[in-house]
Structure 1
Amino acid sequence: MDEVFCALLPKLYRRAVMITGGRQSAEDIVHEAYLKLASRPQRFLAHPEPYAYAFTALVSLARDHHRRDRRQVLVEDVDWPSGAGAWDGGVADRQAQLETVRLLRRLTPRQAAVVVLVDLDGYTIDQAAAILRVHRGTAARHRDRALEKLRELVHAVQPAGTEKEGAP
């Protein structure tokens, strides 16, 4: 069980960061997912697609955390300076990853999970619905709402230095 989970750990951790939007909560959720799966390792190992099984546990825990945390008062997002620290893997790649996480954080956990499965992991809507244990229409509706919200967020932010010509 440990070998299979450890092989999935990097991908699960990246997806947890995308779904939850925070490194600490992602670490907690991945750890809790491991504990949940370790309580019944035979189910995890017998599943035809262990990643999907682990991802389902991860999303379930993320939803639980979201429900519990949404009653708390949130602090505004912090604007990070563009040249903060040494970036591993290139500045542009890292900034794109951070922007992706920032945008996915604005979605509900289930919406983020569907977007991650379909648009980042390459699953079909039917496969994503099966992984999340929801009807195909529910998964499609969550994805549509998520993509619409992402479009609104992207269009609402005008990048710095993109002024129209002739403007003062």
Structure 2
Amino acid sequence: MKEKLFISVIGASKCSAKEASLAEEVGRELGKRGAVVICGGLNGIMEAVCRGANSEGGLTIGILPGNSRNDANQYVTIPIITGIGYARNSIVAKSGQAVIAIGGKYGTLSEIAYALHDKIPVIGLGTWKLATGKSKDESIVIAKDASDAVDKALKSIGQGGENGLH
């Protein structure tokens, strides 16, 4: 039996239509390739990526900030309640073998920091740019589109790209 790969997808609960479309496409690509999608389980980027993954029969896990499974968007397959608010961001980031960041606000920035601190690869699509001191930080691998983001995420964990998981 093939081992499942877990990819966290992060981004804001309020996003543009363009970002939502990109997230849905990322979800479709992950679903096609058999990866499990982990996210914060709410609206915006999280809902869009889950919708895309679901359309391809993919499994989605929502790490919820509150105390009710009913808070999860309708495309979350497995809602996990935490009751810990934004502290759940560390769980979202650390649960993926790679992270794909799409757009985002301060919550997304915290998830990026948690992932990078633990040396989890972060692939960016229109997300935060980091700088350390006076130089540009290149910790976030920039992708040109959804397919490229998924390819880079899978390659970063040694699972190939376009040919899917193996």
Check whether TM > 0.5. Answer: no
**Bigger Rg over Cα:** 1
TM-score band w.r.t. shorter chain? under 0.3
TM-score normalised by L of structure 2: 0.27
Q: Which has the higher strand share?
A: 2
